[in-house]
Amino acid sequence: MDNPTVSGSLRYRLGLTLIGGAAVLAVLLFFAVRSYAVQVAQQGQDNILVASVTSMLDAAAIRDNAVEVDIPYAAFSMLTTPADDRVFYAIFQDGTFLSGYRDLGYLGPDAGLENIFGFANVRGVLVRQVSASRTLIGANKRTEVQIVLAQTQDALSATLDQISRNAALLGVGFFALAAALSVWATAATMGQLDRLTTSVTRRGPQDLRPFKNSVPQEMAPLVQSLNSLMARLDQSLSQSEDFIAEAAHRVRTPLATVRSYAEATLQRVDKEENREAMRSMVKAIDESSRAAGQLLDHAMITFRADHLEREDINLVELVRDLVLRMTPIAEMKDLSLSVQGDGSVPYAGDAILLQNAVRNLVDNAMKYGPAESLIDITVRAEPHPHIMVIDRGPGFPSHEISTLTLRFKRGQNAENTIGSGLGLTIAKDVAFAHGGGIKLENTLKGGACVTLSLSS
């Protein structure tokens, strides 16, 4: 049987795709959650910075023609963080530095209440800064106060670390869940395929009924073509079976008719040379009807063996019955057939096939055994039902013994005997169909011994 070439595994591919997809989604989820959290946290810090800078600007006033900023306590206290973040500020008047940290530069438009955010570097530390301005109107002048307020980001980065850890946990959890779902989905999908495979393989080789189980939509075309394939197979099998039965009938009947005419003519012919010719003719007819018979028997057995029709039989009776029918032929060669065995060997098998097999064995014993000798047929139930045929002839050619059951194979000792090389093949096929086998050996005295065993 040809095995299909296997290219990868569907289960593996499907599982890998799903789990790979889950991993990509988990990573995306991690980054999405983290960047959203960064935004929210930054927004929080910015809002406080704005509130603080606004309260500072509120405290700015012009007194005695000079700008005075009396920084309220609340402006700094609202910036307090658990990480004790440091706060820096710089105050400018119309762009001129008044007080605070010189490192902080004012970013933004010269006027207006717009708050401009940015990052700056104060003494090697990254700070978030907001720039805001306010226009003050004094007795005789307009002046603009600008304040830059900055804060380190220690608390913020601690929060972000915390959020990153949680986002990572979320990603891992998501991945684990999605992977478990992928495994489940793969198993559920492949389960459908497995079920179909099991129901195909569980069938016997002769079971050609269509599949009726419901299958998923995607598998329906496959099952449909499988069904139509089996329907065609079933049809051609039964056609061949009919053909064989028909052929057997059409070949045997006219041959029998010709033979009986030839026999009748033989009685009426007086001249010895004509009689000789008639005898050769009868012999040739016998040969061809035998060969045709065995060919058709073999074909018939191939079919019957596929769907064995078992019935309860007694093997001893079956053999006795057969021997009775073969006795006239045996007597022509002065052969005696003896049946020994247990009183009764009950067996459930196909009687027609079993008789055919034993007939071929006895036939061989009569053909290859010497005239005026004894053929022993033994039928026993133990250790398992078997039928043994022993003759007193020269036995099987020992170097060929392993190949004699092959189809059309005849031994060297068969040169002058009629035959088609199918007898032992038929016996072997029948034994196989009944769960048994056939064994060829030679007895110590040299005769052939064939054992046809059946399953118990």
Instruction: Give yes or no for residue 357 binding ligand ADP (CB under 6 A).
Output: no
Instruction: Give yes or no for residue 337 binding ligand ADP (CB under 6 A).
Output: no
User: Residue 301 CB, nearest distance to Mg ion (Å)?
Assistant: 14
One-letter amino acid of 377: I
Q: Which residues make beta-bridge pairs with 423?
A: none
The count of residues interacting with ligand ADP (CB under 6 A) is 21
Residue of 396, 429, 431, 452 that binds ligand ADP (CB under 6 A) = 396
Binding mask 417-436 for Mg ion (x = CB under 5 A): --x---x-------------
Instruction: Give yes or no for residue 448 binding ligand ADP (CB under 6 A).
Output: yes
Instruction: Give yes or no for residue 93 binding ligand ADP (CB under 6 A).
Output: no
User: Which residue's Cβ lies closest to Mg ion?
Assistant: 423
| Residues of span 356-395 touching Mg ion by CB under 5 A | 364
Distances (CA, A) of 178 to 11, 21, 159, 181, 192: 16, 9, 28, 5, 21
Instruction: Give yes or no for residue 452 binding ligand ADP (CB under 6 A).
Output: no
Nearest to 333 by CA among 361, 376, 366: 366
Residue of 15, 171, 385, 411 that binds ligand ADP (CB under 6 A) = 411
Structure tokens at 158: 């601690």
SS3 94: coil
Non-local (6+) Cβ contacts of 131 within 8 A are 106, 107, 108, 115, 116, 118, 146, 147, 148
Q: Is the bond into 385 cis (omega within 30 degrees of 0)?
A: no
Whether residue 290 contacts residue 322, with contact meaning beta carbons closer than 8 Å, is answered with no
- DSSP classification of residue 400: G
Residue of 100, 171, 419, 436 that binds ligand ADP (CB under 6 A) = 419
Instruction: Give yes or no for residue 362 binding ligand ADP (CB under 6 A).
Output: no
- If the CB atoms of residues 167 and 299 are measured against ligand ADP, the closer one turns out to be 299
**Cα 308 from chain centroid (whole Å):** 31
Nearest to 391 by CA among 402, 381, 378, 382: 378
d(CA 341, CA 356): 19
d(CA 434, CA 386): 11
User: Residue 404 CB, nearest distance to ligand ADP (Å)?
Assistant: 4
d(CA 256, CA 274): 21
The count of residues interacting with Mg ion (CB under 5 A) is 3
Structure tokens at 413: 């000792």
Residue of 365, 377, 433, 454 that binds ligand ADP (CB under 6 A) = 365
User: Residue 309 CB, nearest distance to ligand ADP (Å)?
Assistant: 25
d(CA 213, CA 203): 14
- If the CB atoms of residues 152 and 294 are measured against Mg ion, the closer one turns out to be 294
The partner in contact with residue 396, picked from Mg ion, ligand ADP, none with C-beta cut-offs of 5 to 8 angstroms by kind, is ligand ADP
- If the CB atoms of residues 369 and 419 are measured against Mg ion, the closer one turns out to be 419
User: Residue 3 CB, nearest distance to ligand ADP (Å)?
Assistant: 32
User: Residue 251 CB, nearest distance to Mg ion (Å)?
Assistant: 19
Can you give the binding site for ligand ADP, defined by CB under 6 A?
360, 364-365, 368, 391, 393, 395-396, 404, 410-411, 413-414, 419-425, 448
